[in-house]
Amino acid sequence: MQRTAVNPWDWSLTFGYNQAEIIEGPSRQLICAGQTAVDAEGNPQHPGDMRGQIGLALDNLDAVLAGAGMDVSHVVRLGVYATDVDEALKNFDLLGMRFGAAQCAPPMTLLGVARLAIPSLMFEIEATAMA
């Protein structure tokens, strides 16, 4: 898979994402459901703790990717939902650590939402990956 960043402006790079990417030669595509801070039984974890929820949601995304024989370097698109955008942004270094280590800056959208499916959850991340 060949990835070519498209950044008519470079401001988004300071936030860790490209404006767009051209993907050439993918053979498999994985569409991930939104991952949240739940344990293996689906029980919400880290109530009131945005950083804890982001960390566990990323761990759960890693697990889904691994189940498909992929990792974060294969992610080509992210959708992020947060009930408190400012609090989420304060903790986006967690995304930077995961994706930066893989030298991956997929295009991303961050949306503020009134609530998620389970009221105690504050953060959800969905991904599209290709290999």
Contacts of 10 (CB under 8 A, 6+ apart): none
Query: Hey, what are 109's tokens?
Result: 């959208």
Q: Any idea which of 20-24, 46-50, 120-124 has the lowest mean pLDDT? A: 20-24
pLDDT by residue (tens digit) across 48-60?
999 999 999 999 9
pLDDT by residue (tens digit) across 22-31?
988 868 999 9
pLDDT value of residue 26: 66
pLDDT value of residue 46: 98
Q: Is the pLDDT of residue 38 over 70?
A: yes
- How long, in residues, is the chain? 131
Residue ranges in the chain assigned as alpha helix (H): 50-67, 85-90, 93-101
pLDDT by residue (tens digit) across 70-80?
999 999 999 99
pLDDT band with cut points at 50, 70 and 90 for residue 124: very high
For the four alpha carbons of 88, 91, 92 and 98, in that order, the dihedral sign comes to negative
